[in-house]
A and B are shown apart, each in its own frame.
Chain A
Amino acid sequence: MRSQEIILRAVLIIGLLAAIAYNINVWIAAPLGLLTIAATAELAIRPYAASSIDRLLLGCGITVTAFILIGIGLNLTPWGLTRITLTFAWTIINFGVLVWRRKLGTHIEKPLGGIISFGPWVLLASMVLIAAGVLAVVGVRQWNRQPVLAFALTSTSPDSVVVEIDSTSLSDRYRIVAASKSSGALQYSSAPLTVKSGGDGQRIFERVPINVAGVWTINLESLNDGTVVRWLKVDIHSP
């Protein structure tokens, strides 16, 4: 193997280590990681693959197989499959393959053979595929912005409960009303709560005072029409 190739491969491996160690942005770490994995797989199977098709097949196959078997092995250690153990194991394999195949030269060929000669079509198709991906993600983002309103209990204590209003894409004014049929129970009515949530959602926490033990009904009422839009039932016990 030429010394330039060895140096390039070593730089790749160390680059991946650095990317993981320093938690580098995924847009850099992911291509680097995938490239390193591919480079190691290619080197490992080089003597057995005569064409780019076989390289791809054998490279993908041994990579997935190696991942699975390494994972099974790591699970037997006390540390299991963590970022550190997986990185450590993969680094050993990277350098191991590099040493193992150090005397092996290669013939570089255009990986896609004749297809690459269709440059403009490949470019056009790639752009269409990227557009498909973007369109799909945009659709999901819009879907995630559908209006939802949840009213939930988050904690209780003998003298109060904390409730949560979790909303997305809603704009309204509400009031929380708590009441109980227990003797001596005082009805609680909160100040008006303005909910103005965008597509990313909004969460409002409200403390509701409870003056006696017993079963309490906590309503979320719309101030527009006075209807109860959501309600909860909690059983407060004496301390």
Chain B
Amino acid sequence: MFQKVLVLIDHSEGRVPQVSLECCSLARRLTSKTNGKVNAVVLGSSLDGIRAAVEHLPVDRISFADDPLLEKYTPGAYVEALEQLITEDGPDVVLMGHTYQNMDLSPRLAARIRRALVTDCVAIREDEDPPVFVHPMFHGKLNADIRVRSPKPWLVTIQSGAFGGRTDERGTPEIEARTVHIDSDAIHREFLEEVSVTADRVDLTKAEIIVGVGRGVRNEENLSLIKDLASALGAEIGASRPIVDNGWLERDRQIGSSGQTVSPKLYFAIGISGAIQHIVGIRNSGCIVAINSDPNAPIFNVAAYGIVGDMAKVVPLLTEKIRQLKTG
């Protein structure tokens, strides 16, 4: 079906996000029947630091486009570099993670090369002719089967975690350096200042147990129930976006696509409905427990255990039982 797939590898501080590994794994799958080739590309400046993280990706070739103008992400320079790599390699499909950066980059790239783009793709049926791409609509309440009417390559951004795939797969790709020609006039952005609201942040990534709280907590007073539970558990407190936007908890406690990605042994999702933006941040937790008054809340689709009920009743009792357990 697909002879050549090009994967754009995201990276930051020498690390490659899970979703880029999932893209590689998916690219392997899409080319398995044709015995096709997967080429992963890494854009940036002074890329030596990222080499170790990518040199065993399960792909056929890794292309490093190392250029000072690619040091920081700018749509202008990235589009120029990718347009060249795509023109030279002629892939059928270009895959990248559905990250903030690629949500910004991919439409601009599609406009430049005049090709169709499927964003936030959650499934691909490559055996159908023509292939079908599944894209969530109405905030994930419905899925749309989409056929692309466009010459190749088709651009696709992949929802984190949707394809699972074996991300421990390893390969011995051929490694090459590629020269790209970027016009510095294409970069309109002037970088003024980076603000990290999480500068001296609570590091939730190392917590063993996290109590996550969402809109279902209803009011600020109920937060004290959450704090009691967290203290009984020896847990950190995390939050979904609405709680932070309301100013009920600090932004450094936000979990999800615009906050931290966590992987505790135990995660309590309390009053969290389970929007995809939050799910991507907790998906790698060992055991997820959901407490929610809505029996149809999507959080129950990812949790291992659930209680349907009013958090104001359930949480104090849970705190009490845990205290009893700990004091023997």
Judge: A and B partners, yes or no.
Answer: no
Interface residues of A (CB under 8 A from B): none
